Chains A and B, each alone.
Chain A
């Protein structure tokens, strides 16, 4: 048995199975959501192709030791940052008017998604590895500042695209890293207080009036307050139908392809814009598969997340652990924002649901991230219960 094959057999097959189940369901959901929309007939099979490409990346990332990220991460970060800056100049406008895509021939790449991948790697190095290279970085303040800069720069650039959703992912990811990245609590508390102080100012001065109005409408919908006619026609139009779609789904839903409804006239088929196969996919799932279907989906996601956290416990070193935490925090943000937005818990930002939503680059990036998680698992310590020596490099070399 070659070491490579041993590694392969040593993959966390539970996580893999979980992912495959989610993707399968996702393809089915895309098929459902795209049904009855002219021009969307092939999306589900496209998604299968993207998955296959993504799985190659997944296995490659799984089988290579993540320690090489130390050297790859920085160039990757710079390239991705360059992409994000470049997108301003050579990017193509999407249909909402945001510039977030770069086209290479027939291929469209969203640099902000590559950016988040590079960001996770770089932050994992900053919080988990850098202090072993230079003592200076043992100071939590310095690490926070460095990590903060590395976070805020791409975040602002993405925010300017404007891609509010992708920018919002950076926050929880950074926080998750801070939490696990052995930053003392006093720093964390201070940071939280600082954010809480800045927030009202940012709301009043940072946001334009129409953006504020959206938040007001969002608050109304969250608290089930009555909406005005103008709201319903303007800011709350989509939200209103989302709410009705989800609410009318009930326990059992309207069935796949909305077969239980007369003439298949479900809300999403009539009123949802074409984001039904990506941003609003969980709304479609809620309507067609009902409470029980969505509960199953959320359970699958939570199983996946906790499996990953389980991996984090086994991680060989702090960097691996932070990599997993970064991936989990990012994925969790996507999941929470997407489902939450369909349930009107969070403002509508347009984040896809991992493994479910239609989207090529995103599928590849997400699978690659979980490949890194697998890599952390494959290159783990034998026993998670035995405390590690501080310098774990010697142990790692045993393999």
Chain B
């Protein structure tokens, strides 16, 4: 067989040649034709736009005393995405193309079933690439335990994009921080950072007004905003108090920091020239007078009261001069994140220190008679007289008075706090006028103060009854009688009552109680909202002459012979006031306790009033003995400020609160009250109807035997149950927040 090998070999050569030619052609295409394109694609140093959070404006009082400022906090943040990318790169080099990252299996509820899910073991990667190098530098967190790693995993799971950095630690000292900044160049994704951190200079002082901020929650930031940055660090934002409501004024303008990242993704430096410093937000001046606030808080603290509140309003403008509530808390504990132990202490405290009692709703008792008096004036019943016989009967139910007062006029009715008088007076006024005037007074609705935690309270007017208790007869005289003495469905906040007092004091102009005095940018005035009238009683028929009767009544309460709060009288200063006591049941944890809400409202001086004060003391004995001394002290000292009395505004420690019975309030540096409260005609547990033991928010079954009776008036069941306002919302919504909240430092 002849082999025709030559042709075959030529063919073979041709194939080999084709191979080489195609190689050269492809090489030419890549290296010559497409050269420029690939040069552009060479990964090099990349600029990263990092958002520098704006500096939050300060909070000051009306005189410029700084209440909330910022201090630098040295933090370490880790961009987990970068860390994982670095790990990917390392593993690719180590293992080749088919590299595997360590996996972590966790359980998650999916459609009601616990399922195993697998994800990248971020904890292991983090430990290898971040913790270990930091440990070598001596900068690692000492307490990085399993719990902390679990939080890290959750953060990683919930932030897949990586734009939101993981806060590794926030407690570096300046020395550590500078060491860090020098050394971290080798760690991709790890950034040292100086951040302004909120600081409440006077600790628990005015905490319920100020509120607190929390670390930025990027979930709340729109995605478009986040996508503008390579490295997003949000602003702290307020979650309670004026930090929340005035947040937009105080937010700073973010700065820009240009960072350089090398081709491996490691942070190599910063472009100093392109740094845009963040701007500070506006400062906010509150209407609060820190001295009066201090006086009020000290009065509450020194009185030994377990739970209570004081609200002080300037009658001429509606500006809130002070608003104190105990027990309280130190908002610094919430910045940047609250410790688990601290949180447990706050959460487990049944006295609920997070709650601002000055804007919580409570059964008012007799102080409500002032509001009824004004309503009666609007209905032109100010000249009415009524005879007190010790009790009144409505539909077979007897409702008692604390004494037998005989025939009384309006002023004497107020002075003696006669229930019978107000039963008749209220019914003469009628539920329609009551509802109208109550609305002007700001009862049963939010007053509009710059605090989101505010309660509306209840105003059992006709529409309210029809809406909330459609089955009940709103025309019933018993209902109106009950409302007239601040029982039944009535609930008010101390702030509302302070506002009512201010309206009485200024002759009938209803101002919206507010906290924002002015907004400043440095020395520049940005905004100064004028006082806002929410209604004018003169237009509703309450002329100043009629109002004078109410004022006179309040004058008599303190200065009059037979007034219920003669102990509150201050030398040289005439004041108006009104006591109140309401016997209430309320639920603490699992037990129901019965106690008195004792109240005192007051304005001073009687002519040209400068202060309108409302005090609530929970667990007191009588308004005159438990609440009035507190108000007296507040007024005394506040008015003395103008005469040169000085109050040092100093950091205040937390008050834990208690549930002890406060029979009599006295101050160690004060002479004891001489006027006994025994002869007071003030009563809390005035009559209600036996057919109903309902509460509006919570169902608490009230058994007759549960109710402790006082003074032999054992027929009536208190109608209303004060329902503690829900605490301001610190621990909300997003899963994972608790883990972050409980981060131990």
Taking CB atoms, residues of chain A closer than 8 Å to B24 are 295, 298
Q: Are the C-beta atoms of A298 and B27 separated by less than 8 Å?
A: yes
Is A316 among interface residues, defined by CB-CB distance under 8 A? no
What A residues does B93 contact at CB under 8 A? 272-274
Q: Which of B29-37, B176-184, B232-240, B411-419 contacts A (4 or more CB under 8 A)?
A: B29-37
Given the known inter-chain contacts A250-B31, A250-B35, A302-B20, please indicate yes or no for A244 contacting B96, CB distance below 8 A.
no
Chain B residues, CB < 8 A from A335 = 19
B38-46, B131-139, B445-453, B622-630: which one contacts chain A?
Answer: B38-46
Using A248-B38, A345-B23 as known contacts, say yes or no to A321 and B32 having CB atoms under 8 A apart.
no
Report B-chain residues with C-beta under 8 Å of the C-beta of A354.
none
CB contacts (< 8 Å) of A117 on chain B: these are none
B5 interfacial contact with A, CB 8 Å: yes
CB B176 to nearest CB in A, in angstroms, measures: 30
Most buried by A among B30, B32, B43: B30
Is A336 part of the contact surface with B, judged by Cβ < 8 Å?
yes
A108 close to chain B: CB less than 8 A:
no
The residue on B at minimum CB distance from A331 is B16
The answer to whether A267 and B22 touch across the interface, beta carbons within 8 angstroms, is no
**How many whole Å from B100's CB to the nearest CB in chain A?**
10
Does A251 contact B31, Cβ atoms closer than 8 Å?
Answer: yes
Report B-chain residues with C-beta under 8 Å of the C-beta of A176: 12, 15
Contact A247 B30, beta carbon cutoff 8 Å: yes
A295 CB contacts on chain B under 8 angstroms = 24, 27
Instruction: Give 1 or 0 for each of A245-261: 1 = CB within 8 Å of chain B CB.
Output: 01111110000000000
The answer to whether A291 and B20 touch across the interface, beta carbons within 8 angstroms, is no
- Stretch from A9-17, A306-314, A365-373 at the B interface: A306-314
Interface residues of B in 1-23 (CB under 8 A from A): 1-6, 8-9, 11-13, 15-17, 19-20, 22-23
B30 to chain A: which residues have CB within 8 Å?
243, 246-247, 286, 343
A180-B12 in contact (CB<8A): yes
A246 engages B97 (CB within 8 Å): no
For chain B, the bracket of interface size reads 35 or more
CB atoms of A270 and B96 under 8 A apart: no
A398 interfacial contact with B, CB 8 Å? no
How far does the Cβ of A184 sit from chain B's closest Cβ, in whole Å?
A: 10
Q: Give A320-340 interface residues, CB cut-off 8 Å to B.
A: 321, 325, 328-329, 332, 335-336, 339-340
A-contacting residues, B589-604, CB 8 Å: none
Cβ proximity bits B74-115 to A, threshold 8 Å, 1 near / 0 not? 000000000000001100111111100000000000000000
Given contacts A182-B8, A270-B264, contact A247 B1 (CB under 8 A): no
Contacts of B263 in A (CB 8 A): 265, 270
C-alpha gap A344/B31 in the complex (Å):
13
Q: A33 CA to B5 CA in the complex, in Å?
A: 42
| Assembled-state Cα–Cα distance A224/B34 (Å) | 10
Contact A243 B38 (CB under 8 A): yes
Report A374-399 CB contacts with B as 1/0, cut-off 8 Å. Answer: 00000000000000001000000000
Number of CB contacts from chain A to chain B under 8 A: 138
| Interface residues contributed by chain A, number (CB under 8 Å) | 57
CA distance A344 to B6 in the complex (A): 34
Please give, as numbers and ranges, the residues of chain B lying within 8 Å of A340 by CB-CB distance.
23, 26
- B1 near A138 with CB under 8 A, answer yes
- Could you give, for residues 87-106 of chain A, a 1 whenever the CB lies within 8 Å of some chain B CB and a 0 otherwise? 00000000111000000000
Partner of B22, one of A224, A265, A312, A345: A345
Bound CA–CA A180/B3 (angstroms): 9
Q: Which of A272, A309, A344 has the most CB of B within 10 A?
A: A309
Chain A hits for B2, CB < 8 A: 390
Question: Which of B1, B4, B26, B89 meets A345, CB within 8 Å?
Answer: B26
User: With A182-B1, A273-B92, A290-B31 in contact, is A250–B39 under 8 Å at CB?
Assistant: yes
Taking a contact as CB atoms under 8 Å apart, the answer to whether B13 and A250 are in contact is no
Q: Are A302 and B16 in contact (CB under 8 A)?
A: yes
Interface centre among A248, A298, A306 (most CB of B within 10 A): A248
- Interface secondary structure of A, over-half rule: helix
By the criterion CB–CB under 8 Å, are A325 and B41 in contact? no
Looking at chain B's contact residues, the main secondary structure is helix
A301 CB within 8 Å of chain B: yes
- Which residue of B31, B95, B264 has the most chain A CB atoms within 10 A of its CB atom? B31
Tell me if B96 and A251 are in contact (CB < 8 A): no
A238 at the interface (CB under 8 A from B): yes
A237 in the interface (beta carbon within 8 A): yes
- Asked whether, in the complex, the Cβ of B97 is within 8 Å of the Cβ of A244, the reply is no
Name the contact of B26 in the complex, choosing from A179, A238, A343 (C-beta under 8 A): A343
Residue among B2, B27, B42, B96 with max Cβ neighbours from chain A (10 Å): B27
Q: Which listed residue (B12, B20, B39) contacts A298, Cβ 8 A?
A: B20
Kindly state the separation between the CA atoms of A270 and B8 in the bound complex, as whole angstroms: 46
> In A218-263, which residues have CB < 8 Å from any B CB?
224, 233, 237-238, 243-244, 246-251
On chain B, the residues within 8 Å of A179 by CB distance are: 8, 11-12, 15
**CB neighbours of B4 from chain A (8 A):** 182
Cross-chain contact A247 with B35 (CB below 8 angstroms): yes
With the chains together, A313 CA to B10 CA distance in Å? 10
**Is A46 on the interface with B (CB-CB < 8 A)?**
no
Do the beta carbons of A309 and B6 come within 8 Å of each other?
no
A248 near B19 with CB under 8 A, answer no
Q: How many Å lie between the Cα of A249 and that of B31 in the bound state?
A: 6
How far in angstroms is the closest Cβ of chain A from B572?
81
CB distance from A144 to the nearest CB of B (A): 15
Q: Do A180 and B38 touch across chains, with their CB atoms under 8 A apart?
A: no
Given contacts A273-B96, A295-B24, contact A286 B42 (CB under 8 A): no
Which of B6, B19, B89 is the one whose CB lies under 8 Å from A336? B19
- Does A286 contact B27, Cβ atoms closer than 8 Å? yes
Nearest A residue to B42 via CB reads A248
B27 near A318: Cβ-Cβ < 8 Å: no
The reply on A123 being an interface residue by CB < 8 A is no
* Interface: B28 (CB within 8 A): yes
Q: Is the CB of A291 within 8 A of B34?
A: no
For residue A298, which residues in chain B have a CB less than 8 angstroms away from its CB? 20, 23-24, 27
CA distance A335 to B98 in the complex (A): 24
Residues from chain B with Cβ under 8 Å of A329 in the complex: 12
Asked if A43 lies at the interface with its beta carbon under 8 angstroms from chain B, I say no
Query: Which residues of A are found within 8 Å of B20, using beta-carbon distances?
Result: 298, 301-302, 305
24 interchain pairs, CB-CB under 8 A: A95-B96, A176-B15, A179-B11, A179-B12, A179-B15, A180-B5, A180-B8, A182-B8, A237-B97, A244-B41, A246-B27, A248-B42, A249-B31, A250-B31, A251-B31, A267-B43, A273-B92, A301-B20, A325-B12, A335-B19, A336-B23, A343-B26, A343-B27, A348-B97
Q: A179-B11, A321-B5 are in contact. List 20 more A-B contacts (CB 8 A).
A: A95-B95, A95-B96, A237-B92, A243-B30, A244-B38, A247-B31, A247-B35, A247-B37, A248-B38, A248-B39, A250-B31, A251-B32, A270-B263, A273-B93, A298-B23, A301-B20, A313-B6, A318-B5, A332-B19, A345-B23
Q: Which positions in A face B, CB cutoff 8 Å?
A: 95-97, 131, 138, 176, 179-180, 182, 224, 233, 237-238, 243-244, 246-251, 265, 267, 270-275, 286, 290-291, 294-295, 298, 301-302, 305-306, 309, 312-313, 318, 321, 325, 328-329, 332, 335-336, 339-340, 343-345, 348, 390
Which 9 pairs show the lowest CB-CB distances between chains A and B? A247-B38, A291-B31, A302-B20, A250-B35, A343-B26, A180-B8, A248-B38, A182-B3, A336-B19
